[in-house]
Chains A and B, each alone.
Chain A
Amino acid sequence: KCNTNTQSEWKKSEDTQQQIIRETFHLVSKRDENVCNFLEGGLLIGGSDNKLIYRHYATLYFVFCVDSSESELGILDLIQVFVETLDKCFENVCELDLIFHVDKVHNILAEMVMGGMVLETNMNEIVTQIDAQNKLEKSEAGLAGAPARAVSAVKNMNLPEIPRNINIGDISIKVPNLPTFK
């Protein structure tokens, strides 16, 4: 499995995003256990200034793409911090956690990296902030009565139909009777 954290500097079309992820996975998964954790950037990830730095945990790969202003070993440490934070926040993190709680993973990442720049590296600080935010969410849910309310609120949101569901045949246009001109 591969969890690619494409940093938010990468605003690309969906196709390119997918291609980057595929390519990265292809590159990373082929590598042996005891080789170095750096990969030279190809054209896809933005030229030679950028590098892929990854760490391998059991079945998970954590891949960061950084430019030359970051310290290579520093980023390795950062990945370690990230994983340990995940571990703390999820209490023994496993792949399923990451898949079913993508939003939480993103929130944690957002506390560490913001707009492609490292924001905080102190694990305790990150965990404190995450906990405080979760508490805030819980208290809101409590006031609202039940978490179900939140679910229903989202459900009742006025989402427009996805285009294929629109049935044009049903629309009939009524032409009002116009007075005839003389």
Chain B
Amino acid sequence: MLGYDISWAAFNIIEVMSASKFTFKRIGYLAASQCFHEGTDVIMLTTNQIRKDLSSPNQYDTGVALTGLSCFVTPDLARDLANDIMTLMSHTKPYIRKKAVLIMYKVFLKYPESLRPAFPRLKEKLEDPDPGVQSAAVNVICELARRNPKNYLSLAPLFFKLMTSSTNNWVLIKIIKLFGALTPLEPRLGKKLIEPLTNLIHSTSAMSLLYECVNTVIAVLISLSSGMPNHSASIQLCVQKLRILIEDSDQNLKYLGLLAMSKILKTHPKSVQSHKDLILQCLDDKDESIRLRALDLLYGMVSKKNLMEIVKKLMIHVDKAEGTTYRDELLTKIIDICSQSNYQYITNFEWYISILVELTRLEGTRHGHLIAAQMLDVAIRVKAIRKFAVSQMAMLLDNAHLIASNTQRNGICEVLYAAAWICGEFSEHLEEANQTLEAMLRPKVTTLPGHIQAVYVQNMVKLYASILQQKEQAGEKEAAQEITQLMIERLPQFVQSADLEVQERASCILQLIKYIQKLQVKEVPVAEEVIALFAGELNPVAPKAQKKVPVPEGLDLDAWINEPPSDSESEDEKPKTIFHEEEQRHSRHRQPEIDEEELARRREARKQEQANNPFYIKSSPSPQKRYQDTPGVEHIPVVQIDLSVPLKVPGMPMSDQYVKLEEERRHKQKLEKDKKKKKQKKEKRGKHHRHNSLHTESEEDIAPAHHVDIITEEMPENALPSDEDDKDPNDPYKALDIDLDKPLADSEKLPVQRHRNVETLKSPDSEVPLVEKKSKKPKKKEKKHKDKERDKGKKKEKEKKVVEEEEEEEKKGEDLDFWLSTAPPTAPTPQAQSEPGTGTAVVAESQEVKKEEREEQDEEEEDEGKKSSKHKKKKHKKEKEEKSKDKKKSKKKSHHSEEEPPVSVQNGTLEDEPLPPMSSYRLLAENPYIKMTYDIQGNLQHDSQVTVSVIFENKSTSFLKSMELNVLDSLNTKMLRPEGSSVHDGIPVPFQLPPGISNEAQFVFTLQSIVMAQKLKGTLSFIVKNDEGSTHEKLDFKLHFSCASYLITTPCYSDAFAKLLESGDLHMSSIKVDGISISFQHLLAKICFHHHFSVVERVDSCASMYSRSIQGHHVCLLVKKGENSVSIDGKCNDSTLLSNLLDEMKETLSKC
């Protein structure tokens, strides 16, 4: 707290938290929120206290508890308190509700299992009457969706409605940001959005909202235009608008403009490139944030043409920059820009090397290792540049004192590491090898960091070897002996080094050279043998190569090499033997594991032995020698530069020359081209090299200065391609990647305290278990609860009129498709043809209709926002519509069918061709008193259960009570009865029906086989009570379980779908139905609706569909529409199920 550790007071804080007075409690929670964290051990003591405070009658007690909890929630706390917080989400006070909603995000993060049970409630809160609660819910869902947008696509219609109705800028910003994240996943969404977004842009006065709108419009355009070139004009427009922002005098807008620009840059670099002038201008800005943003932009803007120019500008900035952080940033950016996509934009590597050398003159940079890595990379991979690189590096080594003289801690001396290595490895290119060797042997070198000295020592020998060879070939024996003498004189300074590595290498080498000296005295030619020490070429290896080496067949890395001690002997019993065994194994392992150094030393010794063995026959001349005469090196235009290099005074920029040179060269090239190129010879030469595909030269006419052979990094043979490398397994948000559309399972309840748990009516439905658990009397309270929520603003008159039917989650998938289908991506469907406007026009119109309808309804009821999602209730609503024909009176009471515009309006298809009202509820039985309709839903979590929802509608003027439903079980299908009751007992319907009222009850059935449709006989008995008295009545019915009712709408992605079809273990069957007149769109909707399928992909008049049975059968359909007929090909694991399904489908389709 306030910078001091007060963990010692943790327990006292808890004491204050549990004070009864709010004053103290607040202080306690404040302190806790400041200093408690995951590791605080006393935190688990707070669980009960917090629970008590959460249920306190004082709203501020609850408030501070929530606020405090939000800061120190742990997985344990989250698990234990999730249910209490869920309860608070429907608290009467909006102040508590909004806090409870917001804290749920924290709970989800710590306890991801709670997300699915809590989500329906959270969704409800999106339409809370209180704007604060609403905004909190939007906040939470947006935060969730930001990490895993695809799970929240189905909420798009709801958010769309919020966006068009909300006036709260905060909420709007959040929603718009969310849409920005969703559009890349669903391009159709983008089309819908453009219109309302433009409206917002025109109408809003808030700059923040405006900016977010523009941002999302950009995201939409990007998602739309990928692949379609005709949108580049609108992108251009956006860029132009952003330019205005950037040119604004307000620095904040300038910054944000640049930020948005970088988004466009990712997909449309060309359109941003034209504003290079502006970006470069921003580099001169006095504000560091703006400069950094501009730098980011530059990264994407470079091309072969402008790279040199841009880097030149940046170099000027490097010199001018005052702060080290900014200068470091510039440096890394320069390197990033140049090295991006495998040096794609570099045409002249000499220029690049000199840039790198110039960068070494920067003072106080931390990025020495970066420069060093680049030098090494370029020198190794670009063979043609080696000669030049070596000369530059030799110069660096020569001037090492300049670099190293800056304080010891200086990161820049890292470049010496690279310089020494390059000079050593490619020593055959060195002109003045003697001089360089001397430079490396200077006493000053010993002040360098250990790892650099080690490289120095190692590479000295390489240099020495090549010098030795030169001299011997030239027959200058004395010179050769001189150089040996020099080594022997200077090496001892390294032998004394405190760094182990340096010491070891130095003493090894010293002995080697002493031996050489002996041989030299005897006038034995040794150069060949010495140079053989370093024979062979080093190839670059890709950083991930090691990981990608495939495991050879038959090798199981997880298998024990030695059988583990058997489990039967517990370790406690025989610790000694196990220990003994282990030790043995240990020692056996140890032998082959000789450390690297040792190995190297041995190898060296062996080589030395070989070198000195006159009988040892060397296999072949060293490959190093071989590539000296490879083509490619000779035609580098080094002549002029070579002259300038020795004259160079360190500190003077020289890369500028290259810029000039390059210009001249390009000019010349142009001229050459005009004169009908004679270049063909040159090109032929270029073909000797493995031409890198990156140098396609198609982008511009600039040919690289020299045909450079960029060696690609080596990968092991048959490396496994995998993209998994980049995923972070520790991402906390990954746990929240949960499919929210799946129906909720019973097992997914939130943990509750025992004593609250009351026996519950077993219902697999999504919402019920949670609600029930909270209350002692499940049904009644639930009813009240919900009414309260919904009717809060209203009078109580409407209370208990109609009890909510349960939401049907599974429909959401379809809803989204319907909702989006206003602007189908393919050719216009019939309904769109009759309406000339585009998709957005339809939306606008449909919105108008919505508004009109709303105005009508407003007379009856004011509050639109209180309704729970209409999408969830669509089914119910439709059903109501059907019924409402013959019951005018009850129409007004059943508020859903009234207030919400009909489904088809939402689809935007009302005007021309409304979707026929569809209801999955079928008639079960009817008599003058009562009408029963039913629907069967599969239950994904129980592979042998289905839920039958029956709506009982009282048609009479009497009161119906004591209803009891009984079914004659078959062998295969049985009704789930409460424990202890016999098979012949009926199940009481948990409500009574006043006249004209309908209500729904659910019954669970267990089945064994689901491949066949089944029928069950049953009876409903009830008592009719009216003024004249009461009579006992009965109604018989037949419950028909169709095969489709065992299917659960399951979304499927096309790639998964394709894989499924490929797998080949599906049975195939097909049907054809003639005389189909409805549109394909409606046909699909029908199949989706009645048979629980979802559309995987749709192309013109052909669609693939998918569904899954409760027992996990996959069912795939291919639906094709011909002139007047429809053919359906089906594939399924079970052929009986498939043929039954297709028969059912045939029946449905033949009706239309």
Contact = CB atoms under 8 A, between A and B. Distances in A.
Report whether chain A binds chain B: yes
Interface of A: 8, 11, 14, 17-18, 21, 31-32, 34-40, 69, 71-74, 76-77, 102-103, 106-107, 110, 114-122, 125, 129, 132-133, 136-137, 140-141, 144, 150, 153-154, 157-160, 162-163
Nearest to A13: B5
Contacts of B131: 122
B173 A133 contact: no
A163 B71 CA distance: 28
Given A38-B289, A74-B208, A107 B30 contact: yes
B102 A71 contact: no
Interface residues of B, number: 67
Contact of A71 (B15, B23, B173, B292): B173
20 contacts: A14-B4, A14-B5, A35-B251, A36-B251, A36-B255, A36-B289, A72-B256, A72-B259, A74-B170, A74-B208, A106-B34, A107-B30, A110-B64, A114-B99, A115-B71, A119-B136, A121-B170, A122-B131, A125-B132, A136-B60
Given A14-B5, A71-B211, A74-B170, 9 more contacts: A8-B71, A35-B289, A36-B289, A39-B289, A73-B211, A74-B208, A114-B102, A133-B63, A137-B22
B38 to A, nearest CB: 7
Interface stretch (B139-147, B794-802, B955-963): B139-147
A87 to B, nearest CB: 21
A102 B136 CA distance: 26
Contacts of A115: 67, 70-71, 73, 102-103, 105-106
A31 B170 CA distance: 29
Nearest to B15: A157
A36 B177 CA distance: 22
Contact of A144 (B21, B38, B72, B169): B21
Contacts of B878: none
B1081 interface: no
Given A114-B102, A122-B132, A157-B12, A71 B70 contact: no
B3 A120 contact: no
Nearest to A75: B208
B286 interface: yes
A36 B287 contact: yes
A73 B207 contact: yes
A157 B16 contact: yes
A152 B15 CA distance: 15
A160 B22 CA distance: 24
Nearest to A37: B252
Interface in B200-258: 207-208, 211-212, 251-252, 254-256
B641 interface: no
Select the residue from B4, B8, B143, B170 with max chain A CB neighbours within 10 A: B170
Contacts of B24: 150, 153-154
A140 B256 contact: no
B290 interface: yes
B252 A76 contact: yes
Chain B interface, DSSP helix/strand/loop, else mixed: helix
A106 B30 contact: yes
A137 to B, nearest CB: 5
Contacts of B1092: none
Contacts of A144: 21
A175 to B, nearest CB: 31
A103 B135 CA distance: 26
A41 to B, nearest CB: 11
Contacts of B820: none
A122 B95 CA distance: 13
Contacts of A118: 139, 170
B992 interface: no
A144 B33 CA distance: 26
A162 B30 CA distance: 21
Nearest to A21: B3
B136 to A, nearest CB: 7
Interface in B9-24: 9, 12, 15-16, 21-24
B603 interface: no
Given A39-B289, A120-B98, A69 B146 contact: yes
B26 interface: yes
Interface string B100-115: 0011011000000000
Given A115-B103, A118-B139, A36 B26 contact: no
B27 A119 contact: no
Contacts of B98: 119-120
Contacts of B255: 36, 38, 72
A146 to B, nearest CB: 13
A114 B132 CA distance: 13
Select the residue from A32, A115, A144, A153 with max chain B CB neighbours within 10 A: A115
Nearest to B27: A103
B777 interface: no
B66 interface: yes
Given A36-B254, A76-B252, A129 B95 contact: yes
Contacts of B287: 31-32, 35-36
Interface in B635-662: none
A51 B8 CA distance: 33
Given A74-B170, A122-B132, A141-B23, A11 B292 contact: no
B26 to A, nearest CB: 7
Interface in B513-559: none
B130 to A, nearest CB: 10
Contacts of B3: 14, 17-18, 21
Interface string B275-290: 0000000000011111
B1034 interface: no
A136 to B, nearest CB: 5
Contacts of B1058: none
Shortest 6 CB-CB contacts between residues of A and residues of B: A115-B70, A73-B208, A36-B251, A35-B287, A36-B255, A8-B71
Select the residue from A14, A18, A34, A144 with max chain B CB neighbours within 10 A: A14
Contacts of A74: 169-170, 173, 208, 212
A157 B15 CA distance: 9
Interface string B418-462: 000000000000000000000000000000000000000000000
A141 B252 CA distance: 47
A71 B27 CA distance: 32
A140 B289 contact: no
Contact of B21 (A37, A122, A140, A158): A140
B784 interface: no
B103 A114 contact: yes
Contacts of B23: 137, 140-141, 150
A110 B67 contact: yes
A165 to B, nearest CB: 12
A103 to B, nearest CB: 6
A42 to B, nearest CB: 8
Contacts of A40: 289, 292-293
A71 B208 contact: yes
A136 B102 contact: no
A36 B248 CA distance: 12
Given A14-B3, A73-B252, A122-B132, A114 B66 contact: yes
Contacts of A157: 12, 15-16
A92 to B, nearest CB: 24
A77 B72 CA distance: 27
Contacts of B135: 121
Contact of B70 (A8, A18, A36, A106): A8
Interface in B567-617: none
